[in-house]
A and B are shown apart, each in its own frame.
Chain A
Amino acid sequence: QKEVEQNSGPLSVPEGAIASLNCTYSDRVSQSFFWYRQYSGKSPELIMSIYSNGDKEDGRFTAQLNKASQYVSLLIRDSQPSDSATYLCAVETGNQFYFGTGTSLTVIP
Chain B
Amino acid sequence: GAVVSQHPSRVICKSGTSVKIECRSLDFQATTMFWYRQFPKQSLMLMATSNEGSKATYEQGVEKDKFLINHASLTLSTLTVTSAHPEDSSFYICSARAVGIGEKLFFGSGTQLSVL
Contact = CB atoms under 8 A, between A and B. Distances in A.
Contact of B49 (A41, A90, A95, A99): A95
Q: Indicate the size class of the contact surface on chain B.
A: 20 to 34
Contacts of A51: 103
Interface string A27-47: 000011010100001111110
A90 B32 contact: no
Contact of A46 (B97, B105, B108): B105
Contact of A101 (B34, B42, B103, B108): B42
Interface in A1-58: 31-32, 34, 36, 41-46, 49, 51
B12 interface: no
Contact of A97 (B6, B102, B105, B109): B105
B105 A43 contact: no
Nearest to B109: A43
Contact of A88 (B44, B103, B112): B44
Contacts of A69: none
A18 B14 CA distance: 47
Contact of A32 (B1, B43, B103): B103
A15 B106 CA distance: 29
Interface residues on A, range: 20 to 34
A34 B43 contact: no
Given A43-B93, A43-B110, A101 B105 contact: no
A92 interface: yes
A42 B43 contact: no
Contacts of B97: 95
Contacts of B67: none
**Best-buried of A43, A45, A46, A92 by chain B (most CB within 10 Å):** A43
B35 interface: no
Given A31-B103, A45-B107, A92-B103, 14 more contacts: A32-B102, A34-B104, A41-B91, A41-B112, A43-B107, A46-B105, A46-B107, A49-B104, A51-B103, A88-B43, A88-B44, A96-B46, A99-B46, A100-B43
